[in-house]
Structures are given as C-alpha cells and as structure tokens.
Amino acid sequence: MKIAVLPGDGIGPEIVGEAIRVLDVLRKEGEPIEIERAHLGGAAHDAEGHPYPPSTQALARAADAILLGAVGGPKYDTLPRAMRPEQGILAIRKDLGLFANLRPAMLYPELASASTLKPEVVAGLDLMIIRELTGDIYFGQPRGRRTNKQGEDEGFDTMLYARSEIERIARVGFDTAMKRGKKLCSVDKANVLDTSILWREVVTGLAGDYPDVQLSHMYVDNAAMQLIRAPKQFDVIVTGNIFGDILSDEASMLAGSIGMLPSASLDVKNKGLYEPIHGSAPDIAGTDKANPLATILSLAMMFRYTFSRADIAARIEVAVRSVLAAGLRTADIAAPGERTVGTTGMGDAVVAALRE
C-alpha cells in the first residue's frame, strides 16, 4: 500500500501528522504501508515554484492512494491565478482523472447538539453526495477575459458536460445507492441550462439498468433548500462539479462541524485522493486547535475504497466513535462550556482507542 502524503498548507501538516500516527499503528502491526511525502499548494509554490510541481506529480502518479491535508492561505492570495494553491488541487484531480468525489455527511449522535439545526431535523442524518470532479464550468473551454463590442471588460466560463462524463458519474451514483438505501437524487438546473437538460436525459436513461434504485431529480436551488428543511429525505445525491461544491459545503454544516467530514476522489480504478472537506484554516494554523478527525476518517475511506480493507476502515471509524463517546471534543465540536482537547490530544486518544 503505497501512500503519497501531501500535507499542504495552514493546518494541513498538523492534521496529516495525526493521521500518520494512525498509519504508524497499523504499520507496526505488520500492514505493508509505505509513506512518501511531497508538497502541494502554497507549500509547493514556496519550495518548488509551482502548486503542483513535477516531483509531486511523479509521486502521486506512482502511489496507490494519496492523503492530502488542505491548501491555501492569505500569503498566496496575490499570486497570479495559475500559481495559486487551489490550482494545485484542480491540477492533481485532472491529472489523475479523479472524477468521482464522494462526500458523506453524517451526524454522529454524540454531536447532535453541535449542528445549528434542530436535533430532530438532523439526528440520524447519513447522506452521501457524489460530486463530479473533473468537468463542468471548472474546466470547460473557452474561458477567460475579453473586451466586448461596447469596450467593456467581460469574464466568461463555459459550463460543459459530455454524455460519457455524465454517464460514468451517474453510474457511481447508482452503484453507491445500491450499496446504501437505494435512493438516488440527481441534482441539476434543467429548467434553465442546456448542460443540465443533457444531464437529466443521461441519468434518466440509465435508470433501467438499476431497477431497484428509486431515482428522483431536483433543481439545485430546491435541493439547497431541502437540505436545510428536511435533510433526512436524501440517501445519495449525484450532481455536477459546481453544484456539488456548493451543496457539499452546505451539507457539512448539517453534520455539526466541517471538521468532521472526510472525502474521497476516485479514478476509474478506485485509486483515490483522500482529504478532509474543510480548508487550511490559516487563522488557527500552528496553534494545536484543528480537529484531526476529518483527516483520520479520510484514511478510513482510503482503506475502504482503494485498498478494499473494510476491516481497517471500520476499526478507524470505531476508534473515532469511541473517543467522541468518551467526551473528547476539539473546539469546533464542543458545546459551550465543554472542556476541549487540541489536535495532538485528539490524535493521542484515537491512537489509544485503536490499540485497544
């Protein structure tokens, strides 16, 4: 199991450090885990002059799986766009063909009070957002800046999906639904966008191959509302890149804290990049405040999806559950007045629970 580790920027190195301690426990037990580190994002720009430098590209291509912390920070805000940390993420997704982004949103019962929504609305929440990750307006051409006939500046982007791109992500959606509650909601904007009309047509056309899955369609604006109104109506959501970007941030708040949620970005062979869905939180970087659980849970996803080791995945998840049940809380998931632990304190507890 060759794992490329890309700590990135801000809190990235701290949270990834705790995940590596989890890997060390497994390695000492005899699991054939190999780890190699490289830079991505701002750290890569600092060290090698590019957010996705050739050294990182070579390592990422050779690895079976990639663990990423987070990228970005105010220090890099003034760089030209091609050199910004976010371009590192977009480039590695595209380079490795990581088209399927799995973003679960579940609320651990222990954290029901951490959500800003009423406990009865979110208790027991368990939904999976499948976001297409290598197409759409993020990558569509043409894009750019120009001057129009009136002499005014314009910025423009192209929303675009080919039938094959829709089909392969839709199949991930159907397959995922088959393994879960057999309900798939496809989210689009087919009342306005041509891209979405094709999207809906293709998704509908596949439904016959999955007779056991109950398929529905929803416009993205309504989906944004329904996620807050009645999130438990959803099992699996499948959607395009930009809608998925927005809806998955929204869904993360149902789960109490963005500090809890892992993600997987998979290619056609289930090689994957695993990362917490939160950002690099430069405001708390280096202060031992960040919650490492989303990164540790990303490792669980890595063992489940890339290494087909559901046993290890479950062990990591059980360890996380047990530290939550024991009352350990980083600041982001603590109720007012509750005692908190830091990043390393939380890591200590997970490592101890794993060894039990």
Smallest gap, in angstroms, from Cβ of residue 90 to ligand IPM?
6
List of residues 6+ apart from 185 with CB closer than 8 A: 215, 216, 217, 218, 223, 234, 235, 236, 237, 238
Question: In whole angstroms, how far apart are CA 321 and each of 20, 29, 164, 260, 338?
Answer: 19, 22, 39, 11, 18
Q: Which of 25, 33, 79, 90 binds ligand IPM (CB under 6 A)?
A: 90
| Minimum CB distance to ligand IPM smaller for 31 or for 86 | 86
Rama region for 335: left / alpha / beta (φ>0; ψ in -120 to 50; rest): beta
* CA–CA gap between residue 328 and residue 346 (Å, rounded): 7
**Quick one: what does residue 89 bind among Mg ion, ligand IPM, none, with the CB cut-off 5 to 8 Å set by partner type?**
ligand IPM
Q: Quick check: 167 binds ligand IPM (CB under 6 A)?
A: no
Catalytic residue (one of 95, 249, 267, 348) = 249
Q: Which of 31, 48, 64, 86 binds ligand IPM (CB under 6 A)?
A: 86
| Minimum CB distance to ligand IPM smaller for 90 or for 285 | 90
Task: Reply yes or no on whether 189 is catalytic.
Answer: yes
Smallest gap, in angstroms, from Cβ of residue 303 to ligand IPM?
21
* CA–CA gap between residue 90 and residue 83 (Å, rounded): 12
Cα 103–chain centre separation: 5
Task: Reply yes or no on whether 245 is catalytic.
Answer: yes
Q: Is-contact 28 62, C-beta < 8 A?
A: no
Q: Which of 126, 167, 245, 348 binds Mg ion (CB under 5 A)?
A: 245
Binding track over 244-283 against ligand IPM, x by CB under 6 A:
-x--------------------------------------
Q: Which of 1, 63, 89, 238 binds ligand IPM (CB under 6 A)?
A: 89
**Quick one: what does residue 90 bind among ligand IPM, Mg ion, none, with the CB cut-off 5 to 8 Å set by partner type?**
ligand IPM
Q: Quick check: 157 binds Mg ion (CB under 5 A)?
A: no
* CA–CA gap between residue 106 and residue 207 (Å, rounded): 26
Q: Quick check: 288 binds Mg ion (CB under 5 A)?
A: no
**Quick one: what does residue 197 bind among ligand IPM, Mg ion, none, with the CB cut-off 5 to 8 Å set by partner type?**
none
Task: Reply yes or no on whether 95 is catalytic.
Answer: no
Which of 85-93, 149-157, 285-293, 300-308 is the region at the interface with ligand IPM (rule: CB under 6 A)?
Answer: 85-93
For the chain, report the end-to-end CA distance as a whole number of angstroms: 24
Task: Reply yes or no on whether 288 is catalytic.
Answer: no
* CA–CA gap between residue 110 and residue 218 (Å, rounded): 31
Helices assigned H by DSSP within the chain: 12-28, 42-48, 54-62, 85-95, 119-122, 163-179, 194-206, 220-229, 241-254, 293-305, 310-325, 343-355
Where on the chain is the footprint of ligand IPM (CB under 6 A)? 86, 89-90, 245
Q: Give catalytic residues, as residue numbers.
A: 138, 189, 221, 245, 249
Where on the chain is the footprint of Mg ion (CB under 5 A)? 245
